[in-house]
Amino acid sequence: MIVYLTRVEHFSAAHRLWVDGWSEEKNMAMFGKCAHKNYHGHNYKLFVTVKGTPDPETGMVANAKHISKIVNKYIIDVLDHKNLNLDPSFIPDGKQTTSENLAYYIFHEIAPHLDACELHCIKLQETDKIFTEYYGE
């Protein structure tokens, strides 16, 4: 019996999507408002899903408070109210700060710290209309 448990956290951050080798027109056509030269912010919603067999005594897959502590320490405290392009973090310099890349790096940043359960998926919602998911592949 495998059950999935999701913890939701939030952070706000600024970013800019831009390819240096492209013209302004091409960047604007590809990235739209996310290419604005003075950066812009998003209120990100982060869904961290773990999976496992519920413990026979507690009935729980994992302690949600423990997951929250890990996510806050390694992700939220690092990214919240930061500029994802300029401030130092686990996102490598020069990587596009898309939700796709963020989901990937968030997954690999916290997976090693979730020792009591298995990280299944990172879902990152950038706006009401779009989100990305990464399953560790």
Beta carbon of residue 39, minimum distance to Ni ion (angstroms, whole number): 9
Q: Decide if 81 is catalytic.
A: yes
Q: Verify whether residue 34 is a known catalytic residue.
A: yes
For Ni ion, give the closer residue by CB, 33 or 65.
33
Tokens of 55: 């413990």
Encoded tokens for 107: 């997954």
Please report, as ranges, the residues that interact with Ni ion according to CB under 5 A: 34
Provide, rounded to whole angstroms, the least separation between the CB of residue 78 and Ni ion. 19
Catalytic residue selected from 34, 42, 109, 120? 34
Please state, in angstroms and rounded to a whole number, the distance separating the CA atoms of residues 87 and 81. Answer: 10
Please tell me the chain's helix, strand, coil percentages from 3-state DSSP, rounded to the nearest 5.
Answer: 30, 30, 35
Cβ nearer to Ni ion, comparing 17 with 116: 17
Dist CA 116 CA 130 (whole Å): 31
Closest approach of Cβ 131 to Ni ion, in Å?
A: 13
Name the closest residue to Ni ion (Cβ).
34
| Residues 53, 79: Cα–Cα separation, whole Å | 31
Residues with a catalytic annotation lie at 34, 81, 126
